[in-house]
């Protein structure tokens, strides 16, 4: 058995060493809102969107235009910095607003934002949150606004 590296293997190793590793693929995005008496979430991937409001769960097909917009919104957010985004979380600490956070699942890692008040998300996440809410059926949207 030969220990000689194939050209493709050598190129792959060199690309990793030089920082050209393939970007992880985003597999899903979740927006979760929690308060003492209520839990709501939107979990969207390329195929389906799951909407949970307390004990009721609805699953619908994800409209392609919304998934594309989610991916576009995420291009402006450095996922490795998601956990360090600046937030203001004061109202949720006294049950005056929902404790909210965003999770992004990639092929390599789960990224999670810090908790923030629903009414005042980090500015970097505002377009993403709007797209997630706009991407669910209109009858459910008011529960997340």
The alpha carbon of residue 31 and the mean position of all alpha carbons in its chain are separated, in whole angstroms, by 7
In contact, 100 and 125? CB cutoff 8 Å: no
pLDDT in tens, the chain (145 residues): 556 666 777 667 766 676 665 677 999 999 999 998 999 999 999 999 999 999 999 999 999 999 999 999 999 999 999 999 998 766 555 667 899 999 999 999 999 999 999 999 999 999 999 999 999 999 999 999 9
Question: The pTM is what?
Answer: 0.82
Q: What is each CA distance from 27 to 8, 45, 110, in whole angstroms? A: 27, 6, 10
At residue 123, the pLDDT reads 94
Give me the residue spans of the domains in the chain.
23-144
Which residues, including other chains, have CB under 8 Å from residue 123's CB and lie 6 or more apart?
Answer: none
CATH classification (class only), 23-144: alpha beta
Q: Integer distance in angstroms from the first to the last C-alpha of the chain?
A: 63
At residue 24, the pLDDT reads 77
């Amino acid at each position: 058995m030969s220990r000689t590296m194939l050209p493709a293997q050598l190129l792959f190793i060199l690309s990793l060493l030089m920082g050209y590793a393939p970007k992880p693929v985003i597999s899903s995005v979740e927006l979760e809102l929690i308060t003492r008496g209520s839990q709501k979430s939107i979990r969207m991937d390329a195929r389906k969107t799951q909407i949970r409001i307390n004990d009721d769960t609805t699953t619908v097909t994800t409209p392609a235009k919304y998934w594309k917009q989610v991916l576009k919104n995420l291009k402006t957010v450095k996922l490795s910095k998601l956990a360090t985004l600046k937030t203001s979380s004061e109202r949720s600490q006294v049950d005056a607003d929902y404790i909210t956070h965003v999770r992004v699942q990639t092929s390599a890692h789960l990224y999670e934002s810090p908790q923030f008040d629903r009414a005042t998300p980090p500015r970097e996440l505002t377009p993403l949150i709007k797209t997630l809410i706009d991407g669910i059926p209109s009858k459910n949207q008011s529960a997340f606004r």
